[in-house]
Structure 1
Amino acid sequence: MTDWDARFAAGEYPRAPEPSAVLRSYEPAIPDGRALDVAAGTGRNAIYLADAGYSVDALDASREGLAIVRERAEERGLRDRIETVQGDVSTYGFPTETYALVTLSFFHTLDRLADLRESLAPGGYLFVEGHLRSSDATPSGPSDDRYRFAANELLRAGLGLTVLHYDETTQERPDDRRRATARLLARRSTGGRQTYPPRPDERGPSDERTDE
């Protein structure tokens, strides 16, 4: 059993972590289709995207984490929309030009971002968020800066795509564990003239999604 298997089995990691507000805000503008959630954990992005109508491949090395993904999918009637894939992100052979959307949250694998870009279908979207190095104390996340993005490092990694959103922020969390985070949303597209989704705060009333 790996360390992550033990953490998931012991309930040390949230069973139902929330996806990023950035991903939730832009998702209505992203075409439906097949999605890949890399380092899926307990389904932070996979469950959300399946609920939004995507066919999702949830990739993770942990059997325990993927078991929780399947359990959560069953509970929400989404099992037919999620395929769990056990594999090591560092060596996994990503298919090319396959996915409408690829997501990666809080797993530092900068050396695989080029492969994730190639796995996007033309016009596909890449969303990445990860811990950020900070001069302020940030007790949430890894203690070693090797597993955190340097300033603008994630932005530079996305420059082969059309960058639609990028931010580096510090968040005060309810558990008093401050988190510094970088977030990138980008699209695989080329050309000097393109269409761009509106910023989420610029959507008109007819464009807003309502909760059932």
Structure 2
Amino acid sequence: MTDWDERFAAGDYPREPEPSPVLRSYEPSIPDGRALDVAAGTGRNAVFLAEAGYAVDALDASREGLRIIGERATEEGIEERIEPIRGDVATYGFPSEAYELITMSFFHTLDRFADLAEALVPGGYLFVEGHLRSASATPSGPSDDRYRFAANELLRAGLGLTVLYYDETTEERPDDRRRATARLLARRSTGGRQSYPPRPPEDPGGE
């Protein structure tokens, strides 16, 4: 049993974490189809996207996390729209041009970024959020800065795509565990003239 299996089994990690308000706000403007949730955990994005109508591949190395996703999907009646995939993100072979949407929340990997972009269909969307290095104390998230984005690091990683939304914020959470987060929404498209989805009327940066 891995450390994450133990954490999920012990309830040390939320069983039903909420998806990012940025993802939730922009999702209606993203085409329907097939989605991939990378490092799916207990289904933060996978369950939300399946409820929104996507056919979702939920990729994670943890059997326990995938079991919880399966339970949640059954409870919501969306089990036919989620495919659990047990695999290591570091070595997983992402298919080319397979997904309208790929999401990855709070899993730090930049060396697979090009592979994630390649797995998008032309015009497909990539949403990534992760912990951010901060000069202020941020007890939520990893203690080692190696697993946090430096300032603008996630933005630079996405510059091969069309960046539609980017922010770096510090959030005060209900459990008093302050969290610094970077969020990127980008589209696999190029060219000097493009169409852009309207920004949602409510600020998606807040919880």
Query: Normalised by the shorter chain, which TM-score bucket?
Result: over 0.9
CA shift digits 1:145-200 (9 cap, x unpaired): 00000000000000000000000000000000000000000000111111100000
Distance of 1:53 and 1:134 partners within structure 2: 36
**Counterpart AA for 2:172:** E
**Counterpart AA for 1:163:** V
**Counterpart AA for 1:155:** L
Distance of 1:170 and 1:133 partners within structure 2: 10
Q: Any residues of structure 2 matched to 1:35-114 within 5 Å, and which?
A: 35-114=35-114
Question: How far 1:136 sits from its partner (Å)?
Answer: 0.3
Gaps of 5+ in 1: 203-212
Distance of 2:156 and 2:201 partners within structure 1: 25
Identify the residue that residue 143 of structure 1 maps to in structure 2. Answer: 143
Gaps of 5+ in 2: 203-207
Give the 3-state SS of the residue equivalent to 1:200 in structure 2. coil
Distance of 1:143 and 1:14 partners within structure 2: 19
Give the 3-state SS of the residue equivalent to 2:167 in structure 1. strand
TM-score by length of 2: 0.97
Identify the residue that residue 207 of structure 1 maps to in structure 2. Answer: none
Give the 3-state SS of the residue equivalent to 2:201 in structure 1. helix
Question: How far 1:201 sits from its partner (Å)?
Answer: 1.3
Distance of 1:115 and 1:45 partners within structure 2: 20
Identify the residue that residue 169 of structure 2 maps to in structure 1. Answer: 169
Give the 3-state SS of the residue equivalent to 1:13 in structure 2. coil
Identify the residue that residue 155 of structure 1 maps to in structure 2. Answer: 155
TM-score by length of 1: 0.95
**Counterpart AA for 1:22:** V
CA RMSD of aligned residues (A): 0.6
Identify the residue that residue 117 of structure 1 maps to in structure 2. Answer: 117
**Counterpart AA for 2:68:** I
Give the 3-state SS of the residue equivalent to 1:201 in structure 2. coil
Distance of 2:184 and 2:61 partners within structure 1: 24
Distance of 1:62 and 1:151 partners within structure 2: 30
